[in-house]
Structures are given as structure tokens and as C-alpha cells.
Amino acid sequence: MTAPNSDVLCWNVRGLNSPARCITVHELMAATHCHLACFQETKLAAIDGTFASFLGSYKHNRFAFKLANGTRGGILLLWNDNYIDLQDNVVRRFSITATVSIHECGTTFLLTVVYGPARDSLKQAFLRELKNSKPVDAFAWLVLGDFNLIYRARDKNNHNLNLRRMHQFRAALSFCELREIHLQNQKFTWSNERRRPTHA
């Protein structure tokens, strides 16, 4: 049997601590058919079922989360258990990992959702955690999120590059045997939104 499509939404929301942002997420979730939503940088110190249900537009009845450290970080997963199931959730310093099962076909894979640190001093710890999350026995693995790292010069619109860090990220990706899902129809996904912006 061919595995059916299982739509996944991945979004750095830059904070779910404002009502306007929460309404935007709620409206997007109402308009989408995704079965699993992965939000990074939630900046939330607490999440309950009522709030998670609202964000998921009352279609995503299950959730898992990693709370923010103060106003930094935070990860939230929402899913509809009529279509998929997430089990064996493991919350680490920079990530959440779970086993995903698609009900219709029985396909199972490991999912890791990351929010990499912006602080340079923590990036080595993040890359170690990523490598330690690699599944054994060639189990299918999908890694999503915001790495706060690039591995190629063309992934940034200026020459302010940390070549050593790029090399370390490439080495971690190689160790993990990960392949990029290439971006389509645009070059960058992030901007610092300044007058002369940096895009990455």
C-alpha cells in the first residue's frame, strides 16, 4: 500500500505570547488541512489543553510542548489523532523527538523538532544533541524546525559568515545522514527586518 500524504506545518512563530499572533495561528490552522503542526520560538512559560486546542482551530486534539526558557525558545506540536499518533515523546534541551504513526497505512517514523540556540556559545551543545538524537538501525527520521545555523554561504545574503560554524553544521548533518528538503519559490526564510536586512 502506498503511504498517503500527511501534511506537516513547520513555523517559527516568534512568540505566542500576544493575542494577535495567537489569532493569526488559529486562523491559519482553520484554513489548512495539515495533520501535524510544529511551532518554534513560542516564548511560552505555560501551555494547557484549552489554549492548544484554540491554536489548532479545534481540529488538532493532541499536543506536546517544550516550554521556553524565560522568553527564549519553546516548541509546540499539535496533531489530529484521527490521522496520526505521536508516542514516546522525549523533550531535550533544544528539541522534542517522538515516534509518528500514520493510521491509514501504518507507516512509522521518528520526528525531531528543533529550535537551535541563537547564542554562539550554545551551538556546539545543540549539534551534539542533534547527533545524539539520530535513530539506530536506519529508522526513517524527519528533522524540522529552526536550526539558527546555515551550512552554505548562499544561504545568507551577505558575507558575514562563520565558516567554522558552517563546517561544524555540515559535519553534524553528514553524521546524522540527513538530506535537505530544498526550499522552493524563494531563497530565504528569515529576516532581521532591519533597514538593510540580513536574510538567511
The string of pLDDT tens digits covering residues 12-51 is: 999 999 999 999 999 999 999 899 999 999 999 999 999 9
Whether residue 181 lies inside any domain: the answer is no
The amino acid that residue 95 corresponds to is S
Number of domains in the chain: 1
Question: Which residues lie across from 56 on neighbouring strands?
Answer: none
Backbone CA torsion sign across 72, 35, 90, 95: negative
Whether residue 194 lies inside any domain: the answer is no
Whether residue 193 lies inside any domain: the answer is no
Its domain, for residue 90, covers 8-176
Whether residue 3 lies inside any domain: the answer is no
Whether residue 192 lies inside any domain: the answer is no
Per DSSP, the three-state class of 38 is strand
What's 132's domain CATH number?
A: 3.60.10.10
Q: Is the pLDDT of residue 1 over 50?
A: no
Question: How would you classify the pairing of strands 84-91 and 108-115?
Answer: unpaired
pLDDT, tens only, 156-178: 888 888 899 999 999 999 999 99
Residue 128 φ/ψ region, left for φ over 0, alpha for ψ in the -120 to 50 degree band, beta for the rest: alpha
Question: How would you classify the pairing of strands 8-12 and 36-40?
Answer: parallel
- Whole-number pLDDT of residue 55: 97
- Whole-number pLDDT of residue 97: 98
For residues 100 and 106, give the distance between their C-alpha atoms in angstroms, rounded to a whole number: 10
Whether residue 191 lies inside any domain: the answer is no
Per DSSP, the three-state class of 169 is helix
Whether residue 57 lies inside any domain: the answer is yes
The string over 15-39, giving b where at least 16 C-beta atoms fall within 10 Å of a residue's C-beta and e elsewhere, is: ebeeeebbeebbebbeeeebbbbbb
For residues 44 and 180, give the distance between their C-alpha atoms in angstroms, rounded to a whole number: 29
Whether residue 82 lies inside any domain: the answer is yes
pLDDT band at 199 (very low <50, low <70, confident <90, very high): confident
